């Protein structure tokens, strides 16, 4: 079994914030792959389903971001899921908005959700880093991550979440480079038509 963990904060007031893009990614995956309705377990909301040949437990901790590890560790312990079979979806300030990268282990860069996961799980889990961009000034970071995505962001956010959900089978198979490639291809802007000899696009 695999454990997919989306990081975010509970409550409708946080639902569309940049810090909650991990929740949004897990919601998109659950919807695309027809997971069972989420139930309250392990201090979180949990849905079970299959992605290809793999059984997947999808978890959104309801503990608030800085205590996410408590929820994830309970679920992992109950199902005896090793860290390498845990995939965490989270916002990433150090990536351009709309870009996605996958890595295993590494530092937390001050992300409170990752700090909590490291404390309760170890650092060997896989991370799907979803770029939200940086406000350009460290003093503005907290306001940036706790602010709703702007209307302009929706142009890249919704296609990105769809692409993550569509490519999730590659994550489930452990094919992280292929997952990143597919997400990039699915979210690539369409090429503009070249003008014909009369100067009109054809």
Residues 98-133 as b/e (b if ≥16 CB within 10 A, e otherwise) read bbbebeeeeebeebbbbbbbbebbeeebbbbbbbbb
| Residue 84: CB atoms within 10 Å | 14
Hey, what are 68's tokens? 């996410």
Q: Verify whether residue 90 is a known catalytic residue.
A: no
Tell which phi-psi region holds residue 42, choosing left (phi > 0), alpha (psi between -120 and 50) or beta.
left
Closest CA to 32 of 172, 130, 126: 172
Of 14, 19, 90, 120, the catalytic one is: 19
Q: What is the largest CA-CA distance in the chain?
A: 68
* Beta-bridge mates of residue 48: 57
Query: Which run of H or E residues covers position 74?
Result: helix 68-79
Please list the active-site residues. Answer: 19
């Amino acid at each position: 079994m695999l454990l997919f963990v989306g990081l975010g904060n509970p409550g409708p007031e946080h639902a569309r914030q940049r810090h909650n893009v991990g929740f949004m990614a897990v919601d998109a995956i659950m919807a695309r792959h027809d997971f069972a309705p989420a139930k309250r377990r392990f201090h979180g909301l949990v849905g079970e389903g299959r992605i290809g040949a793999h059984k997947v437990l999808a978890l959104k901790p309801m503990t608030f971001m800085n205590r996410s590890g408590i929820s994830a560790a309970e679920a992992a312990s109950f199902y005896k899921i090793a860290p390498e079979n845990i995939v965490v979806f989270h916002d990433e300030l150090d990536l351009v908005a709309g870009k996605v990268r996958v890595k295993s282990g590494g530092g937390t860069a001050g992300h409170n959700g990752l700090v909590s996961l490291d404390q309760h799980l170890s650092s060997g889990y896989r991370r799907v880093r979803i770029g939200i961009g940086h406000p350009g000034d460290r003093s503005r970071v907290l306001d940036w991550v706790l602010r709703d995505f702007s209307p302009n962001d929706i142009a890249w956010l919704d296609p990105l979440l769809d692409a993550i959900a569509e490519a999730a089978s590659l994550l489930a198979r452990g094919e992280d480079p292929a997952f990143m490639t597919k997400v990039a291809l699915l979210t690539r802007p369409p090429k503009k038509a070249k003008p014909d000899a009369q100067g009109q696009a054809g």
